[in-house]
Amino acid sequence: MRIHQALLGAFAQMLPDKIYACTGGCEYRVSQSGYDHSHSPAKAWVQPEFFIETAVGGFPDRAGSVTKDS
């Protein structure tokens, strides 16, 4: 996602009337972890959660759009 945004930023400087604006994505990660003591020895566990919000930036002739995934 970050590589995509960097490339679009570079292309937008070269072709401002052809390339849409930066996507303005948001990356957010939360992790929880602990030990399950119902097993002997205790088992470690990890639960990652990812939330990604992406958008398509505005075009020279129209507005962009927003999508949300989780």
pTM: 0.42
Share of the chain above pLDDT 90, in %: 20
Residue of higher predicted confidence among 69 and 21: 21
User: How big is the CA angle at 23 (ends 27 and 48), to the nearest 5 degrees?
Assistant: 15
- Structural domains in the chain (count): 1
| 16 phi-psi bin (left φ>0, alpha ψ -120 to 50, beta other) | alpha
For the cut 60, the answer to whether the pLDDT of residue 68 exceeds it is no
User: How big is the CA angle at 44 (ends 41 and 47), to the nearest 5 degrees?
Assistant: 155
63, two tokens: 């507005």
pLDDT single digits (tens) 1-28: 677 778 888 888 898 888 877 666 666 7
pLDDT single digits (tens) 22-64: 666 666 778 899 999 998 999 999 988 876 666 667 777 777 7
Q: Tokens 């020279």 belong to which residue?
A: 60
- 3-class state of residue 56 by DSSP: strand
Per the structure, the complete domain to which residue 9 belongs is given by 2-69
